[in-house]
Amino acid sequence: MSQETKSYYSFSSNIHSMTLFLFWKPRRHRRRRRTRIVEVKAKLNFEDGQVLEALGKSFNIRIRQEGIRSRASVKDGVLSIRLASGLDGREKKRHTVNLARRALTKALLPEVEKRVRDLNDVHFKSEIKRVRLKDTATLWGSCSIQNNINLDFRLLFAPPHILDAIIVHELAHTVRRDHSKAFWGLVTNAIPDYKQRRKWLRENAHTLKPTKTHVPEQLNIMESTSVKEEVVQDATQTYGGTGPEGDMDKAGRAELT
């Protein structure tokens, strides 16, 4: 075999080894990925008459189908959802979930943001840009390079100390952009029992959703004409227009996502 041929095979072998090095993942990383797939989140579903608990507050859900646009509002502990007439079953569910999520986010985000900033002031003292609630498929939270803190909407249904654990995890990323030993030191310094809280979330992720409790019929305050008119007016003010917080028409335009 010539020297040139030997050099070719040596070069090819090095390229092959480098490729294996770049794409091979240690067993512990592959295990972590499987664990995240097993951690199934609950599907959001909102029904008329339900009572849901979010951040320690109770909300009675009232759903009516009337008019040409779908809209929602939160007022005096009532989540009122008006669906456009003529929607089929699938459209009704889509409109209901999107509007309920948006209305609850609008009502509860100030409290979540205060929680984030208070924990940051105590433990990290970083500059936080924005705090947002999102409906995410796999992540419970994220921290952007601009220090925007994003949290999954379902955490509103978690116990407060579980929400705090995820908040602290994301705040720690404002100091360390990795999952190094130093990063976990920041997390455990703020929450010594973080592992126990995270274990609870893995085991109970499927339970973070509205409850199935229904309000007794005699407590159906939507039967009151005066209250009904007040809620409709409030809904128009909250969801008027076609922007990110606009309402939805019969065809689903300006859909809240």
Pull the structure tokens for residue 213. Answer: 């409790």
What was the pLDDT predicted at 156?
Answer: 95
Once rounded to an integer, what is the mean pLDDT over residues 217-234? Answer: 37
More confident residue, 230 or 106: 106
| Helices of type H across the chain | 3-23, 27-38, 89-123, 160-172, 181-190, 194-204, 225-239
pLDDT tens across 28-73, in order?
444 333 324 346 788 888 999 999 999 999 999 999 998 889 999 9
User: For residue 168, which of 147, 191, 145 has the smallest C-alpha distance?
Assistant: 191
Look at the pTM and tell me if it is higher than 0.95.
no
Positive or negative: CA dihedral 122, 123, 129, 135: negative
More confident residue, 187 or 253: 187
What was the pLDDT predicted at 160?
Answer: 95
Query: In the β-sheet with 149-152, what is the strand arrangement from edge to edge?
Result: 131-134, 149-152, 141-143
pLDDT tens across 98-154, in order?
999 999 999 999 999 999 999 999 999 999 999 999 998 789 999 999 999 999 999
| Cα–Cα distance measured from residue 189 to residue 122, given in angstroms and rounded to the nearest whole number | 11
Please, what are the domains in the chain? 51-249 (3.30.2010.10)
What was the pLDDT predicted at 213?
Answer: 60
pLDDT tens across 165-203, in order?
999 999 999 999 999 999 999 999 999 999 999 999 999
More confident residue, 5 or 112: 112
What was the pLDDT predicted at 217?
Answer: 47
